[in-house]
Each structure stands twice: as C-alpha cells, then as structure tokens.
Amino acid sequence: MKTSYQEFQPSPALQPFVECYWLHHFEANGMQESPVQRCLPFGALELIMHLDDNCAHVLRDGIWQKLPQAFFVGLYRDTVHWKAVGTGRKFGVRLKPEALIQLFKIPAGAMFNQFTDVDSIFGGVLNRLMDSVYGITEMSEVIAEVEKFLTARFRNLTSERNYLIEATRIIRQAKGNVSIEALSESLSISKRQLERGFKDSYGTSPKLYQRIIRFRNAYESFQQTSAVPNWLDVSYNFGYADQAHFIRDFKEFSDDVPTLVYQDSNQHFRVPVRGLARA
C-alpha cells in the first residue's frame, strides 16, 4: 500500500482559528490494509471528512470500527490507533481549541478524549460543506470550499475579552512551560475559575492541556533531527523536572518511550508542522 500525508496552510484571515488542513491518502490493491496509524494527542480539535466512499477504521474498546463519513474529534489525552482499508482519502481541518467556541459558539467539553459524527454536534450545518467537497481531487478546490464555509462564521465573532481564549493561547505561546498559578495571576482570575472554564469548554484541566502542549513541542523538536536526540537536553529545554519526568510524560501520551517513537519506521506518527504546503 502507498500512503502519503500533506499539510496545507490556512489563509491569513483563518490562521487565528485553523492550524492547518491535511490530507492522508492511501492507495491499495483491493481491500489491502494499511499499517496501523498512530495519532498522538497534540492539543487540537479536528474536523475530519472522508473525500471518497471508503472510510477508515478506528480501534475503539479493543474492536475495529468503521469511522463515519465525517466526524469531529475533541481534545485527546490518549493515542488513537486507526487504519485504512482499501484506497481512500481523509481530509482534516485542525482547529485550535478555542475556535469551536469562537466560530460556532459550541464548547468541546463533552467530546474530550472521543469523537462524534458531525450531525451530533453541528446538526445539519455541515451537510452542505460535506456535499461540496465530496469526490473533489484538487486540494486547492477542497480548501477553497472549507475556507468559504469557515469565513462565513466570522459574523458570529465578538470582541469582548475572554480569559479562556487568552489562557489557551498563552499556554501554546509558552510551549506548555508555564505554571497554572502564574497563568491565573497574569489573567487576574482565580485558579479555580480557570479550571472550571477549561473543564466546561474543553473537558479537561488547564494543567493537562499544558502538559499535552509541552509534550507536543518536545515531540516536534526531535522529529526535525537526523540523529537520536539527547533526552536529557530535551527534558531541560522543555521544562521537565528531569529526564525521568520527561520519559514518564512522553510514555503517557504516546504509549511508548521516546527512543522507540523516534526510531519507528512502521507506524506513521503525524508530524503537525513538517512540510506545510500551499494549496
């Protein structure tokens, strides 16, 4: 089976909300299965659509299940295992967590560590978008349709200060290396209020989100290197107490130790920032 993965930049107007668009393409002989894919938790939301009839399968509760034609993925703390069966294309819109609140006025709390078909969260509002991109082969055309849909949501934006949006952005800007105490102090809100806001809107605590973002940045840093990194240096650079702390956190989010993830050639770990292209 041949497989390819590409990422594409959103337009400047949408960059405050969208990290990237991506395409995972599988070409198979008949119903040949792909190697099992691993999606690591990176602190983002995903709107995922199959652009053809053939849908991928996900491992859920120890059973392989066929994914919906289109589905929405909340913030995850676990690694997700999935595979393609036969030829197919998965297209994704990777959203910053606060984007769901800003563009759709919908909190993602109920979807923490799980996914759901789009009708369950958006009703029928995405049906027209799904119909417009289905079967299109040119990614520039797919992205144009998605951007037209997302841009139309700008009319819902409000300008009032939102401490939750600010907190989420600060954690990302600090690459997860910020304490929750310092964060609440800088926003002039109580730690309890911050925790309640995260739980209601994202389904998790600010501390866990901070740990996921730190894990993501550490992971991305060594994906760009040609030699096995010095894990002590990685631990220090990303604010872990020591190497044991880094390895423990890394294993919690990836199901494996850093060296084995780095050396993995059979399973395809998604690299969120590598090779961003323009459609």
Which tens digit of pLDDT belongs to each residue from 120-162? 888 888 888 999 999 999 999 999 999 999 998 877 676 667 8
Q: Which of 225, 202, 224, 216 is nearest to 253 (CA)?
A: 216
Instruction: Quick: pLDDT tens for 15-32.
Output: 999 999 999 999 999 889
Confidence of residue 268 (pLDDT cuts 50, 70, 90): low
C-alpha to C-alpha distance for 70 and 236, rounded to whole angstroms = 40
If asked whether residues 177 and 249 sit together in one domain, one would say yes
DSSP state of 153: G
184 within 8 A of 190, measured Cβ to Cβ: yes
Q: Which of 54, 3, 68, 72 is nearest to 268 (CA)?
A: 3
- Could you give phi then psi for residue 110, rounded to 5 degrees? -70, -15
Q: Which of 134, 142, 145, 42 is nearest to 94 (CA)?
A: 42
If asked whether residues 206 and 188 sit together in one domain, one would say yes
If asked whether residues 112 and 189 sit together in one domain, one would say no
If asked whether residues 109 and 52 sit together in one domain, one would say yes
Confidence of residue 11 (pLDDT cuts 50, 70, 90): very high
pLDDT at 160: 66
DSSP string, 13-50: GGTTTEEEEEEEEEE-STTPBPPPEEE---S-EEEEEE
For the chain, the residue count is: 279
If asked whether residues 170 and 56 sit together in one domain, one would say no
pLDDT at 62: 92
If asked whether residues 143 and 168 sit together in one domain, one would say no
In the sheet that holds 63-66, the strands lie side by side as: 37-39, 80-83, 57-60, 63-66
Burial of 148 from C-beta contacts in 10 A (0-12 / 13-18 / 19+): exposed
C-alpha to C-alpha distance for 153 and 104, rounded to whole angstroms = 7
Is the pLDDT score of 38 beyond 50?
Answer: yes
- Which residues on adjacent β-strands are paired with residue 98? none
Question: For the chain, what is the domain count?
Answer: 2
If asked whether residues 13 and 112 sit together in one domain, one would say yes
If asked whether residues 147 and 196 sit together in one domain, one would say no
Q: Which domain holds residue 253?
A: 163-263
If asked whether residues 11 and 100 sit together in one domain, one would say yes
- Could you give phi then psi for residue 119, rounded to 5 degrees? -65, -30
Q: Which of 269, 253, 240 is nearest to 75 (CA)?
A: 253
If asked whether residues 9 and 144 sit together in one domain, one would say yes
C-alpha to C-alpha distance for 143 and 123, rounded to whole angstroms = 22
Q: What is the CATH number of the domain that holds 75?
A: 2.60.120.10
DSSP H or E run through 93: strand 88-95
If asked whether residues 52 and 109 sit together in one domain, one would say yes
If asked whether residues 87 and 222 sit together in one domain, one would say no
Q: What is the CATH number of the domain that holds 172?
A: 1.10.10.60
C-alpha to C-alpha distance for 136 and 27, rounded to whole angstroms = 16
72 within 8 A of 27, measured Cβ to Cβ: no
pLDDT at 113: 94
Q: What share of the chain is helix, strand, coil (3-state, %, to 5)?
A: 40, 20, 40
Residue with tokens 């969208």: 18
